[in-house]
Structure 1
Amino acid sequence: MSTLTNPAELTAVEICAGAGGQSLGLHLAGFRHTLAVELDGDAAVTLKRNLSRLAADEGHPEPVVAVGDVADESVWRPEDHQGVSLLAGGVPCPPFSLAGKQLGSEDERDLFAWSVEAAGRMSPDAVLLENVRGLSMPRFAGYRQAVLDRFADLGYRADWRLLEAKDFGVPQLRPRFILVALREEFAPYFHWPEPTPTVQTVGGALYDLMAANGWEGAEAWADKADRVAPTIVGGSKRHGGPDLGPTRAKRAWRSMGVDGLGIANAAPGPEAPIDHIPKLTNEMVARIQGWAGRGYEWDFADGRGRKTTTYRQIGNAFPPPVARAVGLAIASALRKEGSSMGDLGAASQYHDEVYRALQEHGGFMTMAALRKALGGTVDDAEIERRISYLQRDFVVDERRRGATTSYRLGDWRAFRGQQDHGRHAAFATTKLRSKIS
């Protein structure tokens, strides 16, 4: 039975909310937050300040912003929020990032599997989780399949989609890997959002800000900045001051006439040479992330005047236009609008046949048995490669009889709330807390 008692009132609980990129997008899609949970204190101040103002402007109750580890039962309990329309979040990216070690379940920061269990405890009508492109790679095929299967156990139809921010009006190459899950009642009405027809450039997005202080070179600069930006890299508290990413990204910025070695306090003034190569301000970076022009200017907490704090909040955010596009698609499904011919999860490119064969068999399978289960379409070398990936996220038992090796899929190593999981001890240290973003 649906928990959506009034389709006109869509509510949301958001976890790992950051400074509110997803929050703003979901608000613009019609969702109203009842709770947001965030670990970082500065981002939580930003979140509370803006969500409270949005609620006051509309005469809605002020949402609760809880500060702390989202998996800490003293911070919030999912059972206390049953009946919400949507559980959303941007769980930590480092376990899956191409720039990191891609430890997946072995990384104590991984909260994806825990978020699925939180959904099971809350029973929302829909779930939206976003992460980095790395989670879409073959390395995590089994992990993704385990997520889909667990959602199926809980009564949801789920699937993944890689969405490009530039396809939704954001002047930036920022691919995000999105998971959407809906109860069977609503799933047929869900359709992934279609890309917008126009792509904005950095120059087009920032010209007015770059010219605001009278720099005569702003127009020529905007003409040169005639493409979308590289991915904005927010970084973490472990790193120094803000800059616009690794060496390759800085070269791309330089080709557009931007100095990526830091963040400026203000746009160039009339004294700057016409051929000056400017740095971006935080206001400019926020616009490249899609914050501006959405009917509400986000007010970032500045960490006692430190522009690095503001930059990290902006750079680590989920672009509001992308969140809005997915949020509108979910809202439409929850209201059962339009065609009920959606095929969420029906033909996903992100399924993993080796994981599925081992899981369904339940016992030991030889290579020959696996080959047969996969219809002879996957050779032994590929099966072995996929098993090696599975062994990083799951217990995979091996049994040898003569020259024959058999495999059996065991427990998922991911943190799902287990009391004896290593995450509890690791997270108690300040070291892990500093690495969480």
Structure 2
Amino acid sequence: MPRTNRLTSVELCAGAGGLALGLEQAGFDPLLLLDNRDVACETLRANRPGWNVLHKDLLQFEPRFELPGHREIDVIAAGLPRVKSAATASRPRGSSWELELFETTARLTVELRPRALLIENVPDLLKRDEYESSRSRVAKHLEDAGYEHCWLLLDACEFGVPQHREYAVMAAVREGGITSFIEGLRPFPPAPGLTVGAVLRASMSVNGWPQVGEWAAQADVIAPTIVGGSWDRGGGDLGPQGSVRAWAKVGVNGRALADSSPSANFVWNPSQGPAHMLKLTVEQVAALQGFPSYWTFEGRKTARYRQVGNATPPPFACALGVALRSALTTL
């Protein structure tokens, strides 16, 4: 896309860059990416040395000092930390911090006056009554500032991601155009290559593992939701018991991650228990999140996996960006 036709973004809670990468593919260039985790900032800088990355807590962000002299911002995008949901029911604390970040993002939007705002989170942020007061405060901030907004429940698997991954997406547009955004979100037709077996077959075979064809054929399904990326729990695994059971159905041991693809002498036989199931590498999980193979993640294995597990899948982010770009360029 010609540089002169590109729009601008500011990204809050940027993480490992899944949302930023998708928006970049859709024609947005970031003026600033902010995250409170140093390892995530290292990942962003390693992949895009030219990006302006700020290691800072969103609640401490002061745009007048850290985003001085900016030209008009087309979109503020935020993949905010997840509120407590059914998938994180065992989390001992509530969601007061996450809701504060949600409301802070709305206040920053009013202050910075971007043309649009894009927020994604778990569906429970929209569905649960306990979050209604926070949603209402955010809506009032935006409406008083002249923004139209909408909420959408979307599954990333309908937008080119080989994984069932549901989101609550809130979009707001300052100059109208919210209907155009909604109409521009067109799900992709199912693609045979977007299954666990198809996506991971090549990487499973790099060490000459002879059973790769047998495994890939029975793994002809869209991946279950990748969880376990929480910074509040455990080590590197594919999530709680429900996730472990879902992965076991395709012969994958979800209780741990592998350092490399299976060796040539590995015997895959799920009937003999977890020791004879496959384990996924961080890179393979990233592929199921829709990251391109060239995107790297900094830190040790568990920190890398948490970045991947928390990320917005880039193809999904790109679809959101394309719809938003279309709405903004037709105003």
Q: Structure 2 matches for 1:12-411, cutoff 5 A?
A: 12-52=9-49, 62-73=50-61, 80=68, 81=70, 83-95=72-84, 98-100=87-89, 107-110=96-99, 111-139=101-129, 140-190=131-181, 191-199=183-191, 200-275=194-269, 276-292=276-292, 297-301=294-298, 303=299, 306-336=300-330
Which residue identity lines up with residue 68 of structure 1 in the other structure? Answer: K
- CA drift of 1:213 comes to 1.1
CA distance in 1, matches of 2:295, 2:305: 13
Instruction: Tell me, in whole angstroms, the C-alpha distance in 2 between the residues paired with 1:263 and 1:99.
Output: 20
Secondary structure of 1:143's counterpart equals helix
Deviation at 1:27, TM superposition (A): 0.4
1:70–1:76 CA contact under 8 A, matched in 2: no
1:418 paired residue number: none
Give the Cα–Cα distance (whole angstroms) in 2 for the partners of residues 234 and 274 of structure 1: 24
Q: In structure 2, how many angstroms separate the alpha carbons of the residues matched to 1:307 and 1:70?
A: 26
Deviates more, 1:73-82 or 1:259-268: 73-82
Asked if the contact 2:115–2:175 (Cα under 8 Å) also holds between the matched residues in 1, the reply is no
Q: In structure 2, the residue corresponding to 1:299 is in which secondary structure?
A: coil
Shift of 1:85: 0.8
Residue matched to 1:8: 5
CA distance change for structure 1 residues 73 and 290 in 2, over 3 Å: closer, same or farther?
Answer: closer
Instruction: Tell me if the contact between 2:268 and 2:278 (Cα under 8 Å) persists in the aligned partners.
Output: no
User: C-alpha displacement at 1:257, in angstroms?
Assistant: 0.8
Q: Which amino acid aligns with 2:114?
A: P
Instruction: Summarize the Cα distance change of 1:75–1:189 in structure 2 as closer, same or farther, 3 Å threshold.
Output: closer
- Code of the aligned partner of 1:156: Y
Instruction: Determine the C-alpha separation between the residues in 1 that align with 2:266 and 2:305.
Output: 24
> 1:308-356: per-residue Cα shift (whole Å, max 9, x none)?
111111111011111000000011111108xxxxxxxxxxxxxxxxxxx
Please give the root-mean-square deviation of Cα atoms over the aligned residues, in Å.
2.4
CA distance, structure 2, for counterparts of residue 149 and residue 27 of structure 1: 30
Amino acid aligned to 1:255: K
Corresponding position of 1:417: none
Asked if the contact 2:228–2:240 (Cα under 8 Å) also holds between the matched residues in 1, the reply is no
SS at match of 1:88: strand
Distance 1:76 1:40, change over 3 A: farther
Q: Aligned AA for 2:168?
A: F
- Matches of 2:137 and 2:83, distance apart in 1: 19
User: Offset at 1:184?
Assistant: 2.5
Over 3 Å counting, the alpha-carbon distance change for 1:105 and 1:112 in structure 2 is farther
User: 1:79 touches 1:121 (CA, 8 Å); kept in 2?
Assistant: no
Cα deviation for residue 300 of structure 1 reads 1.2
Q: CA separation in 1, counterparts of 2:92 and 2:267?
A: 48
CA contact (8 A) 1:215 1:271 kept: yes
C-alpha deviation, 1:134, in angstroms: 1.0
97-106 or 14-23, which deviates more? 97-106
Unaligned runs of 5+ in 2: 270-275
Q: Secondary structure at the match of 2:261?
A: coil
**SS at the partner of 2:54?**
strand
Percent of pairs identical after alignment?
38
With over 3 angstroms needed to count, the CA separation of the structure-2 counterparts of 1:78 and 1:30, relative to structure 1, is same
Whether the aligned pair in 2 keeps the contact of 1:96 and 1:104 (CA below 8 Å) is no
* TM-score using structure 2 length: 0.88
What is the Cα deviation at residue 82 of structure 1? Answer: 5.9
1:141 Cα deviation after fit: 3.5
**SS of structure 2 residue aligned to 1:315:** helix
Once the 2 structures are TM-superposed, how far is the Cα of residue 187 of structure 1 from its aligned partner? 3.4
Question: Which residue identity lines up with residue 298 of structure 1 in the other structure?
Answer: W
Cα gap change, 1:103 to 1:262, in 2 (>3 Å): closer
Q: Which runs of 5+ in 1 are unaligned?
A: 1-5, 53-61, 338-437
| 1: CA distance, partners of 2:61 / 2:105 | 13
- Worse-matched range after superposition: 96-105 or 208-217: 96-105
- TM-score, with structure 1 as normaliser: 0.68
Question: Is the 2:91–2:232 contact (alpha carbons within 8 Å) kept by the matching residues of 1?
Answer: no
